[in-house]
Structure 1
């Protein structure tokens, strides 16, 4: 079901907030969401891999989903990641997300571990059955973590064949080339070709036709500056802004991963604890200081919001 107004812009992934003992901190979760909205997020994605969704129980997922959707209360659209290997469970999760107020669901193709994979026929059936269970758009997350090759031709076929499959977050190597091919093959069925991976390939992906960016949650204000300039037709200004923010984008993508956003939020007084769930390790103090050194040069809202 394509939206009359397609979702566009900057939709960062919200971290899942824990206390120092590793328990959910739902009040901290609300503050993280408020910061992300104040920083200019056009929408927010929850329960993604950068949200440590793989470290949550089903009850915790439900608690985060309800807390965030109730707290956002329609201020911005919220995408809920509902990835699961089981078609039935993914469909149930997706229906629950829709019922709770999600604008869209994001789903990786079914996979488990390093070797358990499903062929194209099974993937087609998987997305088709999930689509039948809901009335909101599905974003296919094409990410290396799934280890499942999804050609541009196959993704275009899914978009044409399946009612709600209309958004695509492309995180594979040579993402821009894949986005360009996907748009060419899929035509109007490709409602939302999106950039991912913390904006490390943002400008080439937008040059290829991307209309959205799903980044980390730490500096939507910086990403918005770049994307707004690009959408306004000023690609030169967008390029200059991208050069300014690229050291931070690169540091997050290559040195810190999902811990970057929490470290920045803790430093700026948004949340009380930057804990990640074991067996993920805390960020090394030297890496953390390097992150903050790069961030302070840019004065992002995150370092000021809670102070």
Structure 2
């Protein structure tokens, strides 16, 4: 970790996968399973971990459950790796409160989507700017803006760069929109040193193009950090051909998670490997179809990832 923006912003690089929220078969949070999940992710080579993201089913959790997960995970990690906490909320006030609480609990960074609600309630650029300014004023750790289609909000490169330059803690950007590499390239060119962390997302389905565009981090699913590490380690060492070979090896699994299994994939892999007892997602999300699960495990076994061995 080094310093960059205004000589105060920590610089994080590498693989920061999203940790799933672990439930039991009745839909209650399994804190012991959560701890085992986190231990596996660290052992598998995660440079850091993100909790309470959309792939963590954050939208299906109560505030008390969020608070319990934050304290449980941060206490259990105990500084082994930096932890990013997603604090997304429509309200500027509540998002700022959530972010301050995450910081006080030991979070290294917060990740936030622009304010949105349902299919139609959106905020204009002035409101988005003020929203992130309000959150930044409440904390002293970096803010990662998650730019993803689920918000239904267009974040122009010029707006992202203006916030990076003007708002003290806005410095990381997880870009998951179509043609993500072009957007990464543009904000890096326009923002310079204000763009401390241009990051890839979307389960690494666009990872190589995003790395070529200048991405320095990848926030993927949590099932196989060891595989993503092989790609990034080779790329950052300057061996882009080896990185491309590793990407081709792991791409079938990346694609299957991105296009078939979705957020249930990580937990299915963890249950198969004996890490967690239940791979349940919270209702009304549907359980993974048995045929989809069979396809996921079949592809994973060809790669022999740690997730299928760690708990056995």
Normalised TM-score (structure 2): 0.98
Structure 2 equivalent of residue 304 of structure 1: 309
Structure 1's consecutive aligned runs of 4 or more residues displaced over 3 angstroms after TM superposition are 1-5
Question: Deviations along 1:100-153, whole A, 9 cap, x unmatched?
Answer: 000000000000000000000000000001000000000000000000000111
- The yes-or-no answer on 1:135 pairing with 2:140 is yes
Unaligned segments of structure 2, at least 5 residues: none
- More off after superposition, 97-106 vs 2-11: 2-11
Distance in 2 between the 1:55 and 1:186 partners? Answer: 35
Give the Å deviation of 1:80: 0.1
Alignment match of 2:29 (pick from 24, 27, 31): 24
- How far, CA to CA, are the matches of 1:23 and 1:236 in structure 2? 45
* Match for residue 71 of structure 1 among 71, 76, 90: 76
Q: Distance in 1 between matches of 2:159 and 2:190?
A: 10
SS at match of 2:228: helix
Partner of 2:150: 145
Name the SS of the counterpart of 2:311 in structure 1: coil
8 Å Cα contact 2:250/2:303 also seen in 1:
yes
Structure 1 match to 2:282: 277
Matches within 5 A, 1:58-207: 58-207=63-212
Structure 2 distance, partners of 1:80, 1:62, is 11
Could you tell me how far apart the structure 2 residues matched to 1:152 and 1:272 are?
A: 43
Give yes or no for contact 2:44–2:225 (8 Å, CA) kept in 1: yes
Distance 1:10 1:177 in 2: 21
Q: How many Å apart are 1:199 and its aligned residue? A: 0.2
Give the equivalent residue in structure 1 for 2:230.
Answer: 225
Whole-angstrom distance in 2 between the partners of 1:67 and 1:169:
25
Structure 1 position 259 matched with structure 2 position 267:
no
Q: Are the counterparts in 1 of residues 9 and 142 from structure 2 also a CA contact under 8 Å?
A: no
* Alignment check: 8 A CA contact 2:23 2:30 kept: yes
State the distance in 1 between where 2:169 and 2:9 align.
13
* TM-aligned CA distance change 1:126 to 1:5, over 3 Å: closer
Match of 1:242 in 2: 247
Contact 2:74 2:106 in 1 (8 A): yes
Kept in 1, the 8 Å contact 2:136–2:168? The answer is yes
> Contact between 2:9 and 2:169, CA under 8 Å: does it hold in 1?
no
Gaps of 5+ in 1: none
Question: Which of 12, 27, 35 in structure 2 is aligned with 1:7?
Answer: 12
